[in-house]
Chains A and B, each alone.
Chain A
Amino acid sequence: MTASTEFASATRVAARVENAEKTYGTGDAAVHALAGLSVEFERGRFTAIMGPSGSGKSTLLHCVAGLDELTRGSVYIGDIELGSLNDRQLTLLRREKVGFIFQAFNLIPTLSAAENITLPLDIAGDDPDEAWYQQVVETVGLADRLSHRPTELSGGQQQRVAAARALVSRPEIIFADEPSGNLDSTSAGELLGFMEQAVKDLGQTIVMVTHDPAAASYADRIVFLADGKVVGELHDPTQETVLDKMKELGG
């Protein structure tokens, strides 16, 4: 589909998917959520995945992130092929190499914001890199809210805590599933701006699923899916080019 696939090099690519198929059900009732899809996500870039409902974008995200298994095909995070890993290895991989920002229910209500941020490190029993932690917290702009419980934070603040949590363990790649889906436009802007900044200034790799053109326009590159396949791509998008591309694909 795109020329870049053929020239992929392990060091340049944070994660890639090859000929991914994901089928739910069997026989006539079978639904092909992913139908032989290949894509790669370059290191240090902010990639958005767009597509209509049922296009397979969430399935793709779950499979790349090691939360779900492909029916056929392979997924690599760095050089590691996920299909060969057992549950424990997958868990450790998520803990060490992957960060998550979900649409909602991102935080553990019994832990403070600070504890939520360091949660993956604490689970692993690692000490956070203090300087990095400070930098993340400052970038996210939550320094004065750290001792608060999630219920005492606004929706935007909660999502930024989630973003900080995803960053603090310096994962290979961060997956975000509609991270701004529940936020008003100001909060959404703050969050997405922060994610953009994390890529530019801190060198993070982020893959974000969204259906919102405004959100997608923060990305460096947009991959469009339909019916479980990649149907288009856009680089350095603006809101207008996104809408144009969507029209083009939709028509």
Chain B
Amino acid sequence: MLKLAWKGVLAHKLRLGLTAIAIVLGVAFVSGTFVFTDTLDRAFSGLFDEINSSVDLYVRGETEFTGQVVPIPADVLDDVKAVPGIGNAVGTVQGFAQFIDNDGEPVGGQAPTFGFSWVPGAEDLTPVTIKEGRPPENAGEVMVDAGTAATAGFSIGQTVKVILVSGTEEFEIVGLAGFGDEDNILGASIAIFDEPTAFRVFDAPNEYASVSAVGDGSVALETLVDRVNDVLPEGFEAVTAEVQSEDDQADFQEAIGFLSTALLVFAGIAVLVGSFIIYNTFSIIIAQRMKEMALLRAIGATSRQVTRMVVIEALVVGFIASAVGVLGGIGLTILIRAAFDATGVSFPQGPLTIRPNTVIIGMTVGMAVTLFSAVIPARQASRIPPVAAISEATVGGPKSLRNRAIAASALTALGVLILFVGLFTSTDNPLPLVGLGAVVLFFGVAGLSPLIARRSARIIGAPLPMVFGVTGTLARENSVRRPRRTAATASALMIGVAVVSMVAILASSLKQSITEQITQNFGTVDFQIQASAFADPSQVGVSPAASERISQLPEVAVVSPMRFGFWKNENGSERQLISVDPATLDAVFVADVQTGSVAGLADGGVLLQFDTAADLGVTAGDTITMEFPLTGVEQVEVDGTFFGEGLSAFLIGNEFFAERFSNKLDFMVFVNLADGVDPDVGRGAVEAILTDYPNVELSNQAEFIESQKSQIDILLVVINALLLLAIIIALLGIANTLALSIFERKRELGLLRAVGMTRRQVRRMIRWEAVITALYGALLGLVLGIALGWAMVKALESEGLTFGFPYQLLTQYVIAAAIGGVVASIWPSFRGARTNVLEAISYE
């Protein structure tokens, strides 16, 4: 049987080859994700180790908050230095710094832009090496990393503008820095100042972001750490460099974990789509080999042996394809790395990391999916009676459609149920349930699909006979000849289109909600200023110096800055808050206060959105427990509640915020012009100041809405690019099914050619058959996608999401699917048109 199975694979190389592509692509996606993230992980691990290699221990804040650095008072450094056994210790001042290049454009932005201090005599405690020139010694001097100097065209001795918390200032470049052998870390741009300058420009007087130390070798490191811990004030701790490396690594893994989960979801969709293709191909091949199977049965093979033969065939194909897929994944990683390098975000170089797990998971996924998809066809094969070898009797024809309808309906209902449980009952992370529900729903609908395929395809293909005469009639009728086959082929595309349409609806709903929120709640704003980089809002933003200058303009009436941060609730989970200027908020944001007042925030406390307050069961006058980066756990009084949407569920005052967070930049600044000032004139005045701050952008309301929308569009493009693979696999499926069907219909094609059908007409006939199948899948997917999208928007209604219907985009998707069908038909139609008439009509 093994031999037979192997021969079976060889005999159907081409057909199985196309199937294999579906597996190869899916597995490549899966293993590529692992190789990519593992390689990054390894590279960063090396980087962190290198950075920390010259240090024995670090002092840091005990609690960790996203985007927050707990400042260490300068006298802590003196205390640490005084600890017996410490050889040397240094405090590093750190903060936002962004260079302006010689053309007035900001340098970097996507990668981190920051600066830190240089302390003479602590060279052995820093990973920084001097590549050229000398370190900064005086105010007005800066050292830049050699990588940034090269890309921005900076040279030693030139004057350069740097955007800082203290404002945009000019410095002379005195040196170029490197990190070990590297010129640059991750494409970040780094400015290095002497310590007094750093304290001033980062607005961190006598505050260090980190303190690092080395021992003098007299005591064990553990003892040293204990001794340092004894002298530290509350809220700080000393850890070994090794622990710090591990924590850095853990943070990084958490960040990258999100990326790998997201990538794996898309890989999963591709694999799911692929499973339909594999199922279909095996079903068709078995139908075509019915006589062969029946012959085996006639000469004494048991039905189990026949099943086993098909299963072994599947495993052989699965094995080869998965192996190729794993290799493909490695190739994919090389490509991705090259792509990132091209965009300027460079990853630390280093060998590709291919863990055994990557290979095991890739192979397992590929083979399991192939096997799973081939099981039903294998069982069909085993049911072929020996008599089929000698008769023309068809086997495996329409079985009970009723049973199928019942099972598929049940599955569909179950999918919907799981989906709704996931969406509408409050769980912490509804995504796994929603995903499971969607997958079950897909299988359910795929099961129901053959029942409606014939009728639907006839309706879709209705115009064809009118346009193309009998060629059209034949195309339409061919597409519904094997409803199961058509349905399985279309199901693959259905899944792809469903996800794409759902995403489109979510994006459109998001855009609509943003537009509504901005017009409703920020209707009184003239301009807003925000960092143009798409980065952590607590790390980039508007220098307070810029806001200060703008507020002094005679044309400007109101400048209302906001900051953004995370606090932790009693369970330790992070939640967002926004800090506002209590005096001016009313001028720029319709808070629609229910109880209390915005002005009250000046005295501390928090304003809650009404439904959040209801969820927490608090009203004005109650307190809630909030943990902040700088002050730890506090009982914060609820000042009141409000209805306004678009900022955050938690609002606090700017002064209250400044005492509790280390942010130095404004996340967003709203500007209103004085009465009677022409908007263009006012804008000109503000923008004149902002020429010193090219890292931020000024926009009026319409521009702001557009920029928000375009951010969603970028996300949409990225998601669609990731889903493209699933769509390609689905189209390959159409090509494959079509090629197999053409092979079956060789005689018919020969007859058509004999009675006068031209090759072009044959191609047209096959092309339109593909288009009908593609459209059927796309339309089913569209219906499902709209339903899924609608359900998700409904579930998120309380978050202020309103349903938006991107009919234009969805129409484009359907047209694209039809074009995809045409592309998928190129090869099968070419083959069909080349059918040898004589061979086709000769009687065996």
Contact = CB atoms under 8 A, between A and B. Distances in A.
Contacts of B753: 91
Interface in A91-149: 91-92, 94-96, 99-100, 102-111, 115, 118-120, 122-125
Contact of B837 (A67, A95, A115): A67
A119 B755 contact: yes
A152 interface: no
Contacts, number: 79
B474 A103 contact: no
Contact of A88 (B471, B754, B758): B758
Contact of A122 (B469, B751, B837): B469
A110 B754 contact: no
Interface in A140-182: 165, 178, 181
Contacts of B473: 110-111, 115, 122
Contacts of A72: none
Given A67-B837, A110-B478, A111-B477, A105 B747 contact: yes
Contacts of A181: 843
A79 interface: no
Interface in B747-784: 747-748, 751-759, 761
B715 interface: no
A37 to B, nearest CB: 18
A88 B759 contact: yes
A123 B761 contact: yes
A119 B470 contact: yes
A18 B757 CA distance: 28
Given A67-B838, A102-B841, A91 B759 contact: yes
B759 A87 contact: yes
B575 interface: no
B481 interface: yes
A88 B758 CA distance: 6
A96 B751 contact: no
Contacts of B756: 91-92, 94-96, 120, 123-124
A144 B748 CA distance: 25
Contacts of B843: 102-105, 178, 181
Interface string B726-759: 0000000000000000000001100111111111
Contacts of A165: 755
Interface core residue of B748, B757, B759 (most chain A CB under 10 Å) = B757
Contacts of A110: 473-474, 477-478, 481
B758 A105 contact: no
A242 B131 CA distance: 107
A106 B469 contact: no
A91 B837 CA distance: 11
A211 interface: no
A68 B841 CA distance: 12
A142 B838 CA distance: 29
Interface in A49-84: 62, 65, 67-68
Interface string B813-843: 0000000000000000000000001100101
B764 to A, nearest CB: 11
Interface string A174-195: 0000100100000000000000
Given A91-B759, A108-B748, A100 B474 contact: no
Contacts of B752: 108, 119, 123
Nearest to A126: B469
Q: Which of B478, B753, B754 has the most CB of A within 10 A?
A: B754
A109 B748 contact: yes
A123 B471 contact: yes
Contacts of B747: 105
Nearest to B759: A87
A95 B751 contact: no
Interface in A214-235: none
Contacts of B478: 110
Given A68-B838, A91-B757, A102-B841, A123 B748 contact: no
A92 B758 contact: yes
Nearest to A182: B843
A125 B478 CA distance: 20
Contact of B474 (A62, A104, A108): A108
Given A122-B469, A123-B756, A106 B474 contact: no
A65 B754 CA distance: 9
Nearest to B468: A125
B470 to A, nearest CB: 3
B748 A100 contact: no
A95 B755 contact: yes
B173 to A, nearest CB: 73
B345 to A, nearest CB: 55
Contacts of A99: 755
Contacts of B748: 105, 108-109
A131 to B, nearest CB: 21
Contacts of B754: 65, 67, 94, 100, 102
Among the interface residues A115, A119, A165, A181, which one has the most CB atoms of the partner chain B within 10 A?
A: A119
Contact of A105 (B470, B759, B841): B841
Contacts of B755: 94-95, 99-100, 119-120, 123, 165
A209 to B, nearest CB: 12
A96 B752 CA distance: 14
B469 A125 contact: yes
Contacts of A123: 469-471, 752, 755-758, 761
Contacts of B758: 88, 91-92, 123
A157 B728 CA distance: 46
Given A111-B474, A122-B469, A123-B470, A62 B838 contact: yes
Contacts of A100: 754-755
Nearest to B840: A105
A67 B750 CA distance: 10
A47 B701 CA distance: 88
Nearest to A87: B759
Nearest to A178: B843
Contacts of A120: 755-756
Given A91-B753, A92-B756, A95-B756, 12 more contacts: A65-B754, A88-B758, A105-B748, A105-B751, A108-B752, A109-B748, A110-B473, A111-B473, A118-B470, A119-B752, A123-B756, A178-B843
Shortest Cβ-Cβ A-B pairs, 9 listed = A95-B756, A122-B470, A110-B477, A105-B747, A120-B755, A91-B758, A94-B756, A123-B757, A120-B756
10 contacts: A65-B754, A88-B759, A91-B759, A92-B756, A99-B755, A106-B751, A107-B751, A110-B473, A119-B752, A178-B843
